Amino acid sequence: MHVLMVLTSHDRLGSTGRKTGFWLEEFAAPYYVLADAGLAVTLASPLGGQPPLDPVSDDPGSQTDSTKRFHADTELRATLAKTEVLEDISPSDVDAVFYPGGHGPLWDLPDDRYSIALIESLVAADRPVAAVCHAPIALKNVRNPSGSLLLMGKNVTGFSNSEEAAAGLTDIVPELVEDALKAAGGHYAKGQDFAPFVVVDGTLITGQNPASSAGAAEALLRALEV
């Protein structure tokens, strides 16, 4: 089976002058869950090439077993440096998609037409779609084959308003994930801040925060019956 992981290409945290991008744990943990289960994993991003890494996610205090494994994995690091251009991906070749978070997706994924078309194709084919932390923002403008918003009436989670407040970025991000998911008609739920929490609604899988990354990937495996 073939899983596509879509990472952000956005590297600026609003007008702060600070860098952002994807969150390392949210990429590394799901990648190894999927790859260790024998799935083929392709990496893509809107612009292709090396996606920007949020430097905070690579601080010593943010390291986990998965991020340490990533740093020792020269093959994966080389593959990450050459992500495919999302526009070039054929949805028919993909069995499922996983979107890692980080703040970058808030800026470049909600309105990316290739991302929207990819998710809409997978939804129409009843194939799993997973996103974690800030990445569920990529779902807000996706529509069902009937034309209704994908999230309308769906159970969903993502980075909560209280977690964004704890990160000190409420007034910097272009929109709050929790608010956006609710505005799109989603039935938003959350667990404790920064603790694992995954919501599964049919083939739609969402995780609340970095701690939910591996759990979301494990739910994706179950959806694929691997």
Query: What is residue 106's three-state secondary structure?
Result: helix
Question: According to CATH, what is the number of the domain 2-224?
Answer: 3.40.50.880
Give the pLDDT score at 177. Answer: 98
Counting as low any pLDDT under 70, the low residues of the chain are: none
User: What does the pLDDT look like over 98-127, one tens digit per residue?
Assistant: 999 999 999 999 999 999 999 999 999 999
Give the pLDDT score at 192. Answer: 98
Give the pLDDT score at 226. Answer: 75
pTM of the model: 0.98
* CB neighbour list of residue 151: distance below 8 Å, 6 or more residues apart: 139, 140, 142, 181, 184, 185, 186
- Give domain limits for the chain: 2-224
